[in-house]
Amino acid sequence: MKEHNMQVQHRYLSSVHGSGHSGHFTDTIWRQFVMSPAKSYVLFSFIVVLLLGALVSTRLLDSAALDGGANRVVTDRKSLTFDPRITKKPRNKIEYPLNCTAAGSHTHTKSCPGTYPTSYAPEEDNDATSPSTCPEYFRWIHEDLRPWARTGITREMVERARKTANFRLVIVKGKAYVETYTKAFQSRDTFTLWGILQLLRRYPGRIPDLDLMFDCVDWPVVLRNAYCAPDAPAPPPLFRYCANDQTYDIVFPDWSFWGWPEVNIKSWEPQLKDLEEGNGRIKWSDREPYAYWKGNPTVAPTRQDLMKCNVSEGQEWNARVFAQDWIKEQQEGYKQSDLASQCRDRFKIYIEGSAWSVSEKYILACDSVTLIVTPKYYDFYTRGLMPLHHYWPINDHDKCRSIKFAVDWGNSHKKKVTNRIIV
């Protein structure tokens, strides 16, 4: 599996380079790369907004993910989406399929045609021609970059982020160069880079030169406390998948949007299609009147606490929770972990694992009411979720009673819930 992924990555890399040469950068690249702090700050904002935009354009959140997921309780369908008038227009999405061939059977090198566009033609791109408003959660990037708003970002700051980074990504003139410091867990880094390469392909000529450090480990590490003294240095800008209120890590979409083969999860678009199909199998009012959760309870005490809310002979908390055994699943072909068949109950619980959990988007995409156990971490879109609009909040310190109350209320106010109105 790993080898295959690496091959895919290499294919993308070599096509971006236009030839099969190595993805490692050299010092000469750095020399072209010194820029003023203010400029680099602007570029950072720009690239992050573009990346988020690219995700949205691949239908991350525009029609079915967040509002579709929580649409039982959505009153304001626009708050996390583009203007619905735009999303209704027929799409003529620009796609650049890869058409690469092996250079020789004895090597791993692949070569891809050098005929991909090098400039971006918005007039051919229906996703981009319509005037659109950025989703509300885009504003958080300003928050995430605030620590550098006055100082800008210098190369020295970037290099201080190397300590924990898995890789450094440099984009110069539309080509991506990567230096891997430490191989990430499973294929996280490969799929993150794959997303970046698709971005380059999607917006040829539009991605500014940049230089960033990326850490693929779950937990944020840039502690705010260490940078609050008047004479403290600026924090290192470090990208990762989640952060919390005690840290300055900059959040970036997680690898699973582009695929997670180790647990049989597809990239977002086909995965979303599966979930939509799963949603269509049973209409909401015919579903089990419980709150469903399935996952690995051993990764966090709060999840073990949730297990206590399972139905038992003595107690009915309206929760149906199941422990996932990934090793068994792997051996049995993921029959019991198919996400689309997990939209079987009226309510679905999201609870964090050792940090944020990638499961949140799949849970929201199920057409059930999402019950979110108060989270400690955020990722790039979750700060845009509004309680009682997109989800029902569950008290972390009193989970069972809080779940029971939410489920009882939803079941006895079906009309209000199915009318997508809570109060």
Binding site for ligand NAG (CB under 6 A): 97, 99, 307, 310-311, 321-323
* Nearer of residues 95 and 245 to ligand NAG, judged by Cβ: 95
Distance CA 145, CA 150 (A): 10
Cβ of residue 100: shortest distance to ligand NAG, in angstroms?
9
CA separation for the pair 50, 196 (Å, rounded): 10
Q: How far is the CB of 311 from ligand NAG (least distance, A)?
A: 5
> What sign does the CA torsion over 324, 330, 336, 340 have?
positive
Shortest distance, position 97 Cβ to ligand NAG, whole Å: 6
For the bound state, the minimum distance from the C-beta of residue 416 to ligand NAG, rounded and expressed in Å, comes to 29
Sheet holding 369-373, edge to edge: 319-323, 288-295, 345-350, 369-373, 392-394
Q: Which is nearer to ligand NAG, 55 or 321 (CB)?
A: 321
Nearer to ligand NAG, 97 or 104 (CB): 97
Closest by CA to 367, choosing from 8, 68, 163, 166, is 68
Q: Considering only CA atoms, which of 29, 58, 39, 31 is closest in space to residue 169?
A: 29
* Torsional sign, CA 117, 109, 17, 267: positive
- Residue that is written with structure tokens 């890869």 in the block: 98
Name the token pair of 142: 């300003």
User: Closest approach of Cβ 312 to ligand NAG, in Å?
Assistant: 7
Which CB, 247 or 302, lies closer to ligand NAG?
A: 302
Among residues 323 and 388, whose Cβ is nearest to ligand NAG?
Answer: 323
Running DSSP on this structure, what letter comes out for residue 206?
Answer: T
The residue assigned the tokens 């509300």 is 136
Least distance (Å) from ligand NAG to the CB of residue 322? 5
Q: Distance between CA atoms of 102 and 111, rounded to whole angstroms?
A: 6
Coil vs helix vs strand at 199:
helix
Shorter beta-carbon distance to ligand NAG: residue 20 or 208: 20
| Least separation in angstroms between CB 121 and ligand NAG | 19
C-alpha–C-alpha distance, residues 136 and 147, integer Å: 21
The distance of closest approach from Cβ of residue 282 to ligand NAG in the complex, given in angstroms and rounded to an integer, is 19
The residues near 165 (Cβ < 8 Å, ≥ 6 apart) are 181, 213, 214, 215, 238
β-pairing, 238-240 with 250-251? parallel
**47's tokens:** 């690239």
d(CA 325, CA 309): 19
Sign of CA dihedral 55, 58, 63, 65: negative
The least distance separating ligand NAG from the CB of residue 297, rounded to whole angstroms, comes to 7
Q: Whole-number minimum distance, CB 410 to ligand NAG, in Å?
A: 20
Instruction: Provide the residue type at 21 as one letter.
Output: H
Nearer Cβ to ligand NAG, position 120 or 322?
322
Residue nearer to ligand NAG on the CB measure, 7 or 310: 310
Closer by beta carbon to ligand NAG, 59 or else 320: 320
Q: How far is the CB of 320 from ligand NAG (least distance, A)?
A: 6
Q: What is the C-alpha to C-alpha distance for residues 56 and 190, in angstroms, rounded to an integer?
A: 21
Q: Which is nearer to ligand NAG, 63 or 310 (CB)?
A: 310
Closer CB to ligand NAG, 97 or 230, in the complex: 97
- Per the structure block, which two tokens stand in for 389? 């609009």
CA–CA dist 129, 16 (Å, integer): 26
